[in-house]
Amino acid sequence: MSAPAVSQNRTPSQNSWILTSRGKQILRLILDNGIFLALLAEIAIFAFLIPPEIFFSSRNVINIMRSVSGVGILAIFYGIALTAGVIDFSYMGLMTLSAMVFALTYQIWQLPFVAACLLSLAVAVAGAIVNALLVTKARVASIIATIAVSLLALGLSYFLLFAMTNEAYVRFKRQELRELIATRWFDIPAIIFVFLAVLILAWVVMNHTKLGAHLYAVGGNRRAAILNGVNPNRLTYLVFIGLAVGGWVAVLYLMGRALYASLIPGAIGLTAGGGAQGTLIVRPDPLVACLLAGIALFGGSGKIQRILFGLLFLAVLSSGMGLLNAPGAVRVTVDGLAIILALLLDSARRAAEKW
């Protein structure tokens, strides 16, 4: 006698649960890859509004990748910091202070280029150590500590700038910085290769090393990480120093493109040229790019390689509006909407993780 067949029919409530579960999986997939879909939609819109021979020209593509690479190294380190649960707003002030120290030693005092670079880097690292001390020893929340350090650095930058000159900026007349930024490999700006190399290295570290696992663990559950033998204070110093190095690279790039140093470079935008003394868009691109890429604002999740898509989204947005000659008010409004979108996406992802 054959065994009775098992009924494949399910009750309406069971079918409803399956559909709901599948719907949640699809929604999570969309949220995880939303920035990639948004980038494709953005490219399609600009391709429709701008002649393809201009928008897809090699010159425009290289300019977009160069602008991404300039701020991208900082964004990578910022993503690592966010993964570890560290929110840093001091990079704006520390970058500005690094710029002032570089201008003083390089242009005013005429020190060798390498010496000026190392001194400006030392200042940035010193600020990073102050950040880490406030967070680890004084138990100050990272967002509060870094805002305070940023204000202190900006104040010192004012003193340095007006001690050097009566102008609002210092223009570089020596050639070493210009030549460094203008370096090309295979007729492509070298900064693009450097950015991609750092991105690949960060991907390896975060996904295939014990250090990366520890960073995710501390950001996800600090207490559990400590119980498992992870030293969060050591990681805090490491991520702050990484941010200092990334900010230093970014500010050298911006100064090399604009060929001047002022109190503006610390605001870190994607555009470093235009106007009498250059124009820098004031917006927190590293943080926004990381949130758009799916890295959680409060740590513990996210894929570092997706920062590339977040940066490309912002760079294509800037390039497209520039080619369309969009008014300044429109650009600022769109920038604000991009930041709101990034925050909403992060909130939606955190809500989806609780399903």
Note the pLDDT tens digit of each residue in 266-296: 433 333 333 333 333 335 578 888 887 778 7
Give the pLDDT mean for 184-197: 93
Q: How far is CA 194 from the centre of its chain?
A: 15
Range with the poorest average pLDDT among 133-137, 259-263, 266-270, 343-347: 266-270
Q: What is the pLDDT of residue 121?
A: 96
Q: Which of 294-303, 318-327, 341-350 has the highest mean pLDDT?
A: 318-327
With respect to residue 234, please indicate whether it lies within any of the assigned structural domains.
Answer: yes
Task: State the Cα–Cα distance between residues 123 and 94, nearest whole angstrom.
Answer: 8
Range with the poorest average pLDDT among 85-94, 102-111, 130-139, 159-168: 159-168
The string of pLDDT tens digits covering residues 7-20 is: 455 555 544 445 46
Give the pLDDT mean for 162-190: 87
Q: Which of 101-115, 163-177, 300-314 has the highest mean pLDDT?
A: 101-115
Q: Three-state SS for 303?
A: coil
Model confidence at 354, pLDDT cuts 50, 70, 90, reads low
The total domain count for the chain is 1
Q: State the distance between the two ends of the chain, measured CA to CA, in whole angstroms.
A: 45
Per the document, the length of the chain is 355
Give the pLDDT mean for 113-131: 96
For residue 150, pLDDT beyond 70: yes
Range with the poorest average pLDDT among 33-47, 101-115, 196-210: 33-47
Range with the poorest average pLDDT among 47-51, 167-171, 191-195, 272-276: 272-276
The string of pLDDT tens digits covering residues 246-257 is: 999 988 988 888
With respect to residue 21, please indicate whether it lies within any of the assigned structural domains.
Answer: no
How many helices (H) and strands (E) the chain has is answered by 15, 4
pTM of the model: 0.83
Task: State the Cα–Cα distance between residues 187 and 163, nearest whole angstrom.
Answer: 40
Give the pLDDT mean for 106-116: 94
With respect to residue 4, please indicate whether it lies within any of the assigned structural domains.
Answer: no
Give the pLDDT mean for 207-223: 91
Residue 305 to residues 156, 206, 253, 315: CA-CA distances in angstroms? 35, 10, 22, 16
Give the pLDDT mean for 259-270: 58
For residue 206, pLDDT beyond 80: yes
- In the chain, what percentage of residues exceed pLDDT 70? 82
Model confidence at 211, pLDDT cuts 50, 70, 90, reads very high
Give the pLDDT mean for 37-50: 88
With respect to residue 88, please indicate whether it lies within any of the assigned structural domains.
Answer: yes
With respect to residue 8, please indicate whether it lies within any of the assigned structural domains.
Answer: no
Give the pLDDT mean for 321-343: 79
With respect to residue 222, please indicate whether it lies within any of the assigned structural domains.
Answer: yes
Give the pLDDT mean for 344-351: 68
Give the pLDDT mean for 327-333: 79
Range with the poorest average pLDDT among 51-55, 80-84, 287-291: 287-291
**How far is it between the farthest Cα atoms of the chain?**
101
Q: What is the pLDDT of residue 213?
A: 92
Task: State the Cα–Cα distance between residues 202 and 185, nearest whole angstrom.
Answer: 22
H/E element, 171: strand 169-171
Task: State the Cα–Cα distance between residues 191 and 185, nearest whole angstrom.
Answer: 9
Q: What is the pLDDT of residue 340?
A: 79
Task: State the Cα–Cα distance between residues 196 and 193, nearest whole angstrom.
Answer: 5
Which CATH number does the domain housing residue 220 bear?
Answer: 1.10.3470
Full 3-state SS string of 126-166: HHHHHHHHHHHCCCCCHHHHHHHHHHHHHHHHHHHHHHHCC
With respect to residue 20, please indicate whether it lies within any of the assigned structural domains.
Answer: no
**DSSP state letter for 7:** P
Token pair in block for residue 221: 């559950």
With respect to residue 260, please indicate whether it lies within any of the assigned structural domains.
Answer: yes
Task: State the Cα–Cα distance between residues 105 and 116, nearest whole angstrom.
Answer: 5
Token pair in block for residue 61: 């593509």
Mean pLDDT, the chain, rounded, equals: 82
Q: Tell me the residue range of the domain where 297 lies.
A: 34-267+279-353
Range with the poorest average pLDDT among 237-241, 301-305, 347-351: 347-351
Give the pLDDT mean for 215-223: 89
